[in-house]
Chain A
Amino acid sequence: MSQIYKREMVFILAGVVAFVMILDYFFGKNIPGISGAGNLSSTLQTWALIIQLMAIGLGAINLIQVHYRQISRKTNMALYSAWFMVFFAILLLLGFYKLATGVEPYPYTWIFANVYVSLGATLYAITGFYIFSAAYRAFRARNIDAAILLIGGIFVLLANAPIGEVIWGGFPLIGNWFNNVGQVPGMRTFTVVGALGLLAYGFRALIGKERGFYSEVQ
């Protein structure tokens, strides 16, 4: 009995919400109270959005726990963790000031524009280095499959770079064909197969067969 509200009720709730969304999508115009602003589907979507917005606190608590552990155990990363806590607290206070007064304090704007933006762009761009060394070490035509991968990659590379046209007129011709047509069978297959997989997974989740995201607890 105690398991019903811990498991079965949860599956039923997810199923009902999903069913309302599906009804709204296909029949919403014909069923009063389901579709449109302020009605059931829209209300449930707003609730889902609000729950999503509140979930970021979990990530924050987890990170703070990790860094607190580093500081309390005085590991070699303790100093960096301490810096993380201090800087996080300062920025959070500045942000709360912004929320309370509606005015963005200049230090917050300054840190956002010069620290967050720069570091975010830099960390994302660092993968450019790794792709170069990975291509140098691993991109070898060991067999037919790898050779096809290599040929496709090189032609697309030289079609994307304007210098490819200068080197040989065939590079943009063949490379653009690979981009517009050659890759379509593979990519279209990924799309279709992925969508079929999502459908299968979705139905399994709705009938309670997929339990991974409900984090089974004794």
Chain B
Amino acid sequence: MIENIAVAYPTDPLAIAGLWTALFLMLAIYSYPLWKENPVYRFAEHTFVATALAIGIIVNLQSLMNTAVTPLMKGSFLMIIPIILGLCMYFLLVPKQRWVSRYPIAILVGSSLGLGIASNPLPSIINQIISTVTPPKAGTAVWAMFPGSPTGDWFSFAFVAVGCVCATTYFLLTYEHTGPVKPVTIAGRYFIMLALGAYFGNTVLFRFSMLAERGQYILKVLGLVPL
């Protein structure tokens, strides 16, 4: 088994200053939840907003140069049109001529909608319905309650099929959920609650992993664990 590669602690003073600056800023941000709101936290917060905005602008400009400006310089004169349209976006700031900005927005909206409307039904609707009604193949591990168990496969398949119908019924809002439909919608609500419970469990894993990585960073900068 290959072990995790440890990087040597830097010796360059600027690199060490960088590590400790990052640690200071991190602790400045955590001073808010761990203690209370304070000027150091505010300073770090404003530093981040300034940095994120500036870097976002520079990166976007770099991409703009690659996709629009450079082809324009090389003779692709049609590129002047999207550049002009992009500048038209700034008419949002001029109240009387704000309507000019609707044209570039229309292209953005049309492009996103077109891509979404065309491509979304297949994976998000059709394939999901096919998967719900397709019986499990023998030995498909993901289905089984007990690996290698056909009974487990079929139980899981029935669970998903019934659950999908019940949960979809819960979202049908065009008629009242009374009479024979009511127990189906109640069951649908329970299936949704189970899904949200699992989602919560996975969310906790994600959030705690991020926080653990930050905790590990403190130990790395202090030299208690390898960098």
Contacts and interface: CB of A to CB of B under 8 A. Distances in A.
A85 B107 CA distance: 33
Interface of B: 14, 18-19, 21-23, 25-26, 29-30, 32-33, 42-58, 60-65, 67-68, 78-79, 81-83, 85-87, 89-90, 92-93, 95, 98-99, 101-121, 124-125, 128-129, 131-132, 142-143, 145-146, 156, 159-160, 162-164, 166-168, 170-171, 188-205, 207-208, 210-211, 213-214, 217
A92 B107 CA distance: 29
A136 interface: no
A56 interface: yes
A195 B214 contact: no
A6 to B, nearest CB: 4
Contacts of A88: 50, 53-54
Contact of B46 (A51, A80, A124): A80
Given A21-B115, A196-B125, A54 B83 contact: yes
Interface residues of A, number: 122
A153 B207 contact: no
A121 B45 CA distance: 13
Interface centre among B30, B33, B193 (most CB of A within 10 A): B193
Given A43-B78, A119-B29, A148-B193, A14 B21 contact: no
Contacts of A85: 50
A26 B109 contact: no
Interface in A46-90: 46-61, 63, 77, 80-81, 83-85, 87-88
Contact of B114 (A20, A49, A83, A185): A20
B64 A122 contact: no
Contacts of A48: 107-108, 111-112
Contacts of B105: 10, 213-214
A122 B29 contact: yes
Given A185-B163, A192-B129, A180 B201 contact: no
B197 A115 contact: no
Contact of B118 (A21, A123, A155): A21
A208 B208 CA distance: 45
A98 to B, nearest CB: 7
